[in-house]
Amino acid sequence: MKFTDGYWMMRKGVHAVYPVEALDIDAGPASFVVHAPVQRIRHRGDLLKGPVVTVSCASPMPDVIAVTITHFAGERPCGPAFALATDPTGEVTVDEDAATLTSGALSVRVGRGEGWRLDFLAGGRRLTGSAQKAMAIIDTDDGRHYVREQLDLGVDHFVYGLGERFGPLVKNGQTVDIWNADGGTSSEQAYKNVPFFLTNAGYGVFVDHPGRVSFEVASEAMARAQFSVEGQSMRYFLIYGPTPREILRKYTALTGRPARVPGWSYGLWLSTSFTTAYDEATVTSFIDGMAERGLPLSVFHFDCFWMREFRWCDFEWDPRVFPDPPGMLRRLRGRGLRICVWINPYIGQRSPLFEEGRARGYLLRRPNGDVWQWDLWQPGLAVVDFTNPDARAWYAAKLDALLDMGVDCFKTDFGERIPTDVVYHDGSDPERAHNYYAHLYNQTVFELLRKRRGEGEAVVFARSATAGGQQFPVHWGGDCESTFEGMGESLRGGLSLGMSGFGFWSHDIGGFEGTPDPALFKRWIAFGLLSSHSRLHGSRSYRVPWLFDEESVEVLRRFSRLKMRLMPYLAGAARQAYGEGLPMMRAMVVEFPDDPACTHLERQYMLGDDLLVAPVFSADGELSYYVPRGVWTRYLTSERVEGGRWVRERHGFDSAPLLVRPGAVIPEGAVEDRPDYDLAEGVTLRVYEPADGARVMTVIPGADGDAVTTFTTSRDGPVVRVAAAGAPGAWSVLLVNRRVVAVEGGESAEHPRGALVRAACGELVITLEGEGSTTASVPRGDDR
């Protein structure tokens, strides 16, 4: 929120005080505390005045420093609180000039001289800091109290993240309130609000407050990133990278990494849609239609009306249209499908579970003891109190019965419109619990699935989240419009969420609200199948492709089979997501932080380390996108593209810009009708003109996520060596746009895209024709 009236004045009814000097410093072995009065201490009489701001600095892990700003320390502690992985570290030095805490390569320094100054330093330079009148204690005439901090932003410093936000990717100039809301994808509201941002200036900031945090990013003070919370104290963490990739690694080490999800979840999900009419015959006709047309399908999803109207949620199949749920699920699973059903955390008054939950105290209550209810979404709706362990067990038991029946996973919808005029079982503060509710909800469902299905086999399709929610994947983008603008909003939201620590993300192919025309549907198919997870879902109309036109069938077949073949590559990108906290879909600035042209790019992304995707946002196929420096290669045609420039071109519906990074090795699988297969068996390594002296390691995870097959590709002059470690079985190498004059360890054959070499043992030694390309590979964001 904004507190000032222009540069010089405060808004009416707002009063602020600021620390002006470090009066004294209490140093510990790995932390220090500064007592900073808000007026200059000239004589002993000034010591009788307040306020005094207490600033504590500590480090929970290397390269991360926590700063806690406190006015009154007697504020009653209240939950909930983020669960953070900490291992305190750091070294403190105090001299006549300053107190400094150093953790890894990061230091925080508070000066002792005249004027308040808190600086963050790394690598011999100042990253940012809190200067005069930046840190503040603020009161208002209506009795509210806030703590505010402002960190300096340089002219070329840009801010990203803050959750899934559908506006511009760069947050400079924006006001962002961290408050979950069910507002669609076309406004400033968001389903997934995360009080964390990263910058291209070498650091990120996480505000450790689960409730409302207000950010003014170069929007109140133009050269500062401001954040504030209501209360007497605020803690934030500054996280040093220096690259965006490293910032995300360290942030997710602090707040939690995504879980590994099952291989089948990367396949195509098909939904009944929302308000459409359907029964088993309808579902079977869809599945038959997909099979008849050679369209790979992995998951079938039943949306809201699998339950009877007005009884959401009772977790009982509507007997009028599904008279034999166990038999139906058995028939569907017999066709190799997984089953997902829609749920939410609300209990309608007509659900039998309402009286059960009311009697046992499992529903949120008003301060007078009444069950909190309203008529939005479902008549007489109540909300499950997930702070009550018994309520969590009760809710999970209802879902457990569905797992016994044959359901595999759940779409955990809603969880945003959580009231604040309520009393929680564990005494949680309603304001702090509003966003955190989504965390408890998804955690309850995910942990049940993990318990029943095993590690790496749990997956949800969640809409709401906050910091730490990345541990319970997958998340999807919510209710977008069936327009090209809605498609663009969805992409911006997904990239922003990825820069907030979330590794997996999806969206409704074709949009949710409305019915897409065939052109939009076909363009969205390519985007959807080049995302981490892919789902056909809508509101009032079905999303099976033959209802649009026959070309839609062809486009879906082409891109779904492409994704299945890319599974060895995508599994490696997923391994980075759950192992390192790197999103599978990355904003260009994450991979190319030193390229100024990438700072604002929001209509394209990197899928893993090495594939650039530029969705087509027009019916006629015209688009422009930026290609970083180097010679890139089109994956679909093997045509070379000179980078370091903007490219303008036109694509048919069966195409989209999909470019391979210079020097990359892309493993392509031998199966194209399912995602969960032995990814190493029959794999083809597509080698894209590695530079002389290059060495590329390609890791293909096994079914358990741990056992891996590793290929090492190196080049020394005209000789390319590829060595396999693990148990790859049959494997090949495709040297794209190259010819071969000699092979040891295998046999070569001509190929339309270059030279194909089939391995006969664990190592290939290939001699290329001619000098070959010596174009240097583009360094990744961490210069690996």
> Could you give the angle at the alpha carbon of 239 between the alpha carbons of 79 and 147, nearest 5°?
45
Do residues 657 and 624 lie in contact, with contact meaning Cβ atoms separated by under 8 Å? no
Closest CA to 241 of 102, 128, 125, 105: 105
Backbone phi and psi for residue 744, each to the nearest 5 degrees, phi listed first? -115, 130
* DSSP code for 771: S
Catalytic site residue 479? yes
Distance CA 283, CA 278 (A): 7
**Which tokens go with 305?**
């009306």
| Residue 650: C-alpha distances to residues 616, 618, 758 (Å) | 9, 10, 36
Residue 430 bridge partners (DSSP): none
Distance CA 604, CA 657 (A): 9
Match 């809603």 to its residue by tokens. Answer: 414
Question: What's CA 749's distance to the chain center, in Å?
Answer: 42
**Which tokens go with 526?**
């390519």
| Residue 306: C-alpha distances to residues 280, 321, 394, 470, 552 (Å) | 10, 8, 21, 28, 28
Q: Report helix, strand or coil for 698.
A: strand
- Which residues have a Cβ under 8 Å from the Cβ of 725 and sit 6 or more positions away? 709, 710, 711, 712, 762
Neighbours of 10 (CB within 10 A): 15
Question: What's CA 661's distance to the chain center, in Å?
Answer: 23
Match 């000239």 to its residue by tokens. Answer: 42
Catalytic residue among 63, 149, 220, 416: 416
| Residue 598: C-alpha distances to residues 174, 237, 496, 779 (Å) | 19, 26, 14, 14
Strands (E), 344-437: 346-347, 382-383, 409-412
Amino acid at 377: W
Run of H or E residues at 137: strand 136-140
Do residues 675 and 723 lie in contact, with contact meaning Cβ atoms separated by under 8 Å? no
| Residue 545: C-alpha distances to residues 257, 427, 552, 554 (Å) | 35, 50, 5, 9
Distance CA 82, CA 766 (A): 53
Catalytic site residue 177? no
**Which tokens go with 233?**
């104290």
Match 């659900």 to its residue by tokens. Answer: 351
- Which residues have a Cβ under 8 Å from the Cβ of 456 and sit 6 or more positions away? 259, 260, 261, 262, 704, 705
Distance CA 592, CA 334 (A): 46
Closest CA to 700 of 608, 562, 605: 608
Match 């840190």 to its residue by tokens. Answer: 135
Do residues 727 and 709 lie in contact, with contact meaning Cβ atoms separated by under 8 Å? yes
Catalytic site residue 390? no
Question: What's CA 194's distance to the chain center, in Å?
Answer: 10
Pairing of strands 233-240, 203-207: antiparallel
Catalytic residue among 303, 408, 413, 668: 413
Catalytic residue among 479, 508, 591, 689: 479
Residue 269 bridge partners (DSSP): 299, 535
| Residue 375: C-alpha distances to residues 277, 479, 482 (Å) | 24, 20, 28
Amino acid at 320: R
Residue numbers annotated as active site? 413, 416, 479
